[in-house]
């Protein structure tokens, strides 16, 4: 046993005995549970008071380990898991939160772990449900001890404290001694953090921290807690200013090639012996890494640049096939059929205008992303669908398209509404431009294959990369329009205009009306059912006015345009102006699914469980398709309901900094997003945007390793 630990243990024992002898005879009894003893360790629950006085009480979880054995800190490092307490059997206990004293670093075969040896007390801040009443504690403690081998144990501890006046127990000194070792802001320990920045390359950044001390450092260390998928090496320390200044450098690494540390949140703990300082920081480069040039390393490697831009082009092209864009694409196909016999010049101009609308809209989205990043706000693909005003505007536009296709009006009265609502061949360049812009807006709640990779790469870089990659996304989405513009004779391959087009227009009108209803359901989740019903009623009234427009205009020439304009403006502005109904929760998580809690994932995996994460939103159509066709299918539903698998669902219908940060940890900025964690994949396996049964089965099996037997569901086709 190290000498300093032996001295501390003897000192605590002597003072504890003296405190017990000098106390009131009634207070000489220990406020502690019985020891739960194993061959290598024993553990017990202790209290600083002998009675449950007030609304809070200082407790402690005391471990006494045999030489060479250790338990783990809250962030164990490259292996292990920390002690966890289940208080469910307790009475009059509202909560019990563990505080973590400064741990010791253990380095073995290149692995870095953090924990405690010899004897340690983990302080616990206990809150009482009913102050002044007796407290009955029942703690089920799961912990892992390691030497050359690791052994998981569970201890069941109980401690009853009667109601009564405040009375100090002999164990109070022991709890207080270790409480003083819990890292804080640092000032009370004579420590401060001057700076914490990244240096070096984007792929392998070096974390550089400068710490100061009021007294010379003896053995400074830095413990780094970051998002999943990152590893932090043992730090290198250089002391200066007579030992009062420590320059600490930590090399970092990651397990996924397309993930960067820049912008991620880190918890830094500077330690020096039993002193500690804890502070949260966002990882940022002090200056642009030398090997990145002006805007990033993709410009030093033309093949890397070509690869990313190729993915962006392909992702934009695939967006044309996603359910989000199909309504607008259908209108464009109808427009092509209507243009049979028109001059090639007019056809080419119309489709070039639509392509220009797409490219312009993508550049606007890129500008918004750059502006949000500059202000430090969350950036994501489709986040505008989290805004009620945007949803109202999109529902209005969809309703106008639907009414036009169903024949309610041909020449709408407000000119700007005419350009948006008309789908015919004579709507002009402005209307074609608006069609392209609308296709872009409807594309943003969808995430297609290759789209997530390119958008994630763009949003993790600088302004030039964002503009360039978004431009290629727009070119991909506009490719069908550009193809017709280059080869206008393709229009002649379509059937000649006829009665079939009237029927098709009405069918497409109903589909767009259904899209408007879907947007209103998303609006209902965000601001309440009453507001969504009001918006729907106003849009329905707008349709009736447009349908009755010719009769109204016979009596009053401006009646229809005035009424239509007022109803449109009311449908746009009134719903988002109403007080939000906070009694409704967005997309309530089904009982089988837990709410996404990133902090719990590591603990569940340490218990040998597999965690399946689904990040979704009501406005994400691709998410709903994945859910309907894969996640809710019998094979996958039975798999995820199996023993040893935990399902977590994150709802991004409304803005959430936690979900944004979670997605950014995987270098993703859009949804759908699914990941699988397990003993064989603690950092998580990200699944493709479009789920398949095979992909889910393979990921769960890979993450489970040997911990859980994944059996492919039986089907009749296999038996034949």
Q: What number is the average pLDDT over the span 486-515?
A: 67
Distances (CA, A) of 249 to 208, 227, 228, 270, 405: 5, 19, 20, 12, 65
Burial 290-305 (b: 16+ CB within 10 A, else e): eebeeebbbeeeeeeb
The per-residue DSSP string of 394-436 comes to: HHHHHHHHHHHHTTS-SS-SSHHHHHHH--STTSHHHHHHHHH
Percent of the chain predicted with pLDDT > 90:
20
Band of residue 497 on the pLDDT scale cut at 50, 70, 90: low
pLDDT at 297 over 50: no
- Out of 236-250, 641-655, 698-712, least confident range: 698-712
Q: What number is the average pLDDT over the span 343-359?
A: 81
- The CB-side HSE value for 109 (13 A sphere, CA atoms) comes to 3
Q: Kind of pairing, strands 645-651 and 610-616?
A: parallel
Q: Is 171 in contact with 32 (CB distance < 8 Å)?
A: yes
Q: What number is the average pLDDT over the span 433-446?
A: 68
- pLDDT score at 548: 76
Band of residue 375 on the pLDDT scale cut at 50, 70, 90: low
3-179 domain in CATH 2.60.40? yes
pLDDT tens digit string along 201-242?
777 788 999 999 999 999 999 999 988 778 888 899 999 999
- pLDDT score at 41: 93
- Out of 74-83, 481-490, 497-506, 660-669, least confident range: 497-506
pLDDT tens digit string along 105-158?
988 766 788 999 999 999 999 999 998 899 999 999 999 998 878 889 999 999
The per-residue DSSP string of 366-382 comes to: HHHHHHHHHHT----TT
Three-state secondary structure along 170-235? CCHHHHHHHHCCCCECCHHHCEEEEEEEEEECCCCEEEEEEEEECCCCCCEEEEEECCCCEEECCC
| Higher-confidence position of 55 and 481 | 55
Contacts for 454 with CB less than 8 Å, ≥ 6 apart: 308, 311, 312, 315, 469, 472, 473
Tell me if residue 260 falls in helix, strand or coil: coil
Q: Kind of pairing, strands 265-272 and 220-225?
A: antiparallel
pLDDT at 71 over 70: yes
- The CB-side HSE value for 245 (13 A sphere, CA atoms) comes to 7
| Higher-confidence position of 535 and 456 | 535
Tokens of 159: 């401690």
- pLDDT score at 419: 45
pLDDT at 554 over 80: no
Most confident by average pLDDT, 383-397, 471-485, 577-591: 471-485
Q: Kindly report the backbone phi and psi dihedral angles of residue 671, in degrees, each rounded to the nearest multiple of 5, phi listed first.
A: -125, 160
- pLDDT score at 293: 36
The per-residue DSSP string of 485-541 comes to: HH-GGGGGGSPPSSHHHHHHHHHHHHHHHHHHHHHHHHHHHHH-HHHHHHHHHHHHH
Distances (CA, A) of 320 to 99, 335, 406, 447: 53, 16, 24, 11
Instruction: Please tell me the class of the 187-292 domain.
Output: mainly beta
Band of residue 60 on the pLDDT scale cut at 50, 70, 90: very high
DSSP for residue 300: G
pLDDT tens digit string along 380-428?
555 555 667 767 777 777 787 777 767 776 544 344 444 444 444 445 6
Distance CA 80, CA 73 (A): 9
Distances (CA, A) of 456 to 474, 478, 518: 16, 21, 27
- pLDDT score at 553: 61
| Higher-confidence position of 612 and 423 | 612
Q: Is 571 in contact with 538 (CB distance < 8 Å)?
A: yes
- Out of 386-390, 577-581, 709-713, least confident range: 709-713
pTM above 0.75, yes or no: no
Q: Is 285 in contact with 262 (CB distance < 8 Å)?
A: yes
- pLDDT score at 160: 92
Domain ranges of the chain: 3-179, 187-292, 297-577, 594-719
Label residue 576 left, alpha or beta by phi (over 0 means left) and psi (-120 to 50 means alpha): alpha
| Higher-confidence position of 637 and 411 | 637
Q: What number is the average pLDDT over the span 452-473?
A: 69
Tokens of 673: 């997003």
| Higher-confidence position of 360 and 665 | 360
Q: What is the CATH number of domain 594-719?
A: 3.40.30.10
């Amino acid at each position: 046993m190290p000498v300093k630990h032996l001295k501390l243990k003897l000192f605590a024992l002597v003072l504890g005995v003296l405190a017990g002898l000098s106390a009131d005879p009634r207070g000489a009894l220990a406020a502690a549970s019985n020891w739960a003893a194993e061959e290598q360790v024993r553990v017990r629950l202790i209290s600083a008071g002998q009675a449950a006085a007030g609304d809070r009480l200082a407790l402690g979880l005391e471990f006494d380990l045999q030489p060479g054995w250790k338990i783990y800190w809250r962030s164990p490092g490259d292996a292990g898991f920390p002690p966890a307490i289940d208080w469910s059997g307790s009475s009059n206990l509202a909560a019990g939160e563990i505080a973590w004293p400064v741990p010791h670093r253990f380095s073995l075969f290149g692995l870095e772990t953090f924990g405690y040896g010899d004897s340690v007390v983990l302080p616990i801040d206990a809150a009482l449900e009913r102050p002044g009443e007796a407290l009955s504690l029942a703690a089920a403690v799961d912990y892992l001890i390691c030497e050359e081998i690791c052994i998981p144990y569970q201890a069941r501890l109980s401690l009853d404290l009667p109601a009564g006046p405040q009375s100090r127990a002999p164990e109070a000194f022991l709890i207080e001694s270790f409480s003083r070792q819990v890292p804080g802001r640092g000032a009370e320990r004579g420590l401060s953090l001057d700076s914490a920045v990244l240096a070096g390359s984007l792929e392998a950044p070096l974390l550089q921290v400068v710490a100061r001390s009021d007294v010379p450092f003896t053995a400074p260390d830095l413990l780094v807690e970051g998002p999943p998928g990152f590893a932090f090496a043992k730090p290198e320390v250089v002391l200066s200013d007579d030992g009062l200044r420590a320059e600490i450098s930590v090399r970092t690494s990651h397990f996924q090639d397309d993930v960067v540390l820049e912008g991620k949140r880190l918890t830094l703990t500077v330690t020096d012996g039993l002193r500690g300082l804890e502070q949260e920081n966002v990882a940022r480069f002090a200056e642009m890494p030398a090997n990145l040039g002006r805007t990033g390393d993709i410009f030093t490697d033309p093949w890397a640049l070509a690869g990313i831009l190729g993915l962006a082009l392909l992702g934009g092209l695939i967006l044309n096939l996603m359910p989000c864009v199909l309504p607008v694409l259908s209108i464009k196909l109808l427009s092509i059929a209507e243009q049979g016999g028109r001059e090639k010049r007019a056809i080419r101009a119309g489709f070039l205008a639509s392509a220009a609308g797409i490219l312009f809209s993508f550049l606007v989205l890129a500008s918004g992303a750059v502006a949000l990043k500059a202000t430090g706000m969350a950036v994501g693909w489709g986040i505008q669908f989290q805004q009620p005003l945007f949803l109202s505007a999109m529902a209005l536009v969809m309703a106008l398209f639907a009414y036009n296709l169903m024949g309610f009006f041909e020449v709408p009265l407000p000119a700007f509404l005419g350009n948006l609502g008309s789908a015919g061949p004579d709507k002009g360049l402005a209307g074609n431009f608006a069609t392209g812009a609308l296709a872009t807006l409807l594309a943003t709640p969808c995430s297609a294959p290759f789209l997530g990779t390119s958008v994630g790469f763009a949003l993790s870089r600088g302004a030039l990369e964002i503009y360039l990659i978004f431009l290629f996304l727009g070119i991909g989405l506009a490719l069908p329009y550009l193809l017709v513009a280059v080869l206008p004779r393709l229009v002649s391959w379509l059937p000649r205009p006829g009665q079939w087009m009237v029927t098709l227009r009405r069918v497409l009108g109903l589909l767009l009306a259904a899209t408007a209803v879907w947007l209103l359901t998303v609006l209902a989740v965000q601001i309440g059912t009453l507001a969504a019903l009001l918006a729907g009623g106003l849009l329905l009234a707008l349709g009736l006015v447009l349908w009755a427009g010719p009769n109204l205009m016979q009596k009053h020439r401006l009646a229809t345009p005035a009424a239509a304009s007022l109803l449109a403006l009311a449908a746009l502005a009134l719903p988002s102006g109403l007080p939000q109904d906070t009694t409704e929760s967005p997309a309530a998580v089904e009982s089988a699914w837990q709410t996404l809690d990133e902090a719990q994932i590591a603990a569940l995996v340490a218990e040998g469980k597999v965690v399946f994460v689904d990040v979704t939103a009501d406005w994400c159509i691709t998410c709903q398709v994945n859910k309907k066709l894969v996640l809710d299918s019998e094979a996958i539903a039975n798999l995820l309901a199996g023993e040893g698998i935990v399902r977590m669902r994150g709802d991004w219908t409304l803005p959430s900094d936690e979900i944004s940060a979670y997605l950014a940890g995987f270098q993703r900025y859009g949804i759908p997003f699914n990941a699988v964690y397990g003993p064989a994949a603690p950092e998580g396996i990200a699944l493709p945007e479009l789920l398949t049964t095979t992909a889910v089965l393979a990921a769960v099996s890979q993450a489970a390793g040997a911990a859980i037997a994944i059996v492919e569901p039986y089907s009749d086709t296999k038996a034949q």
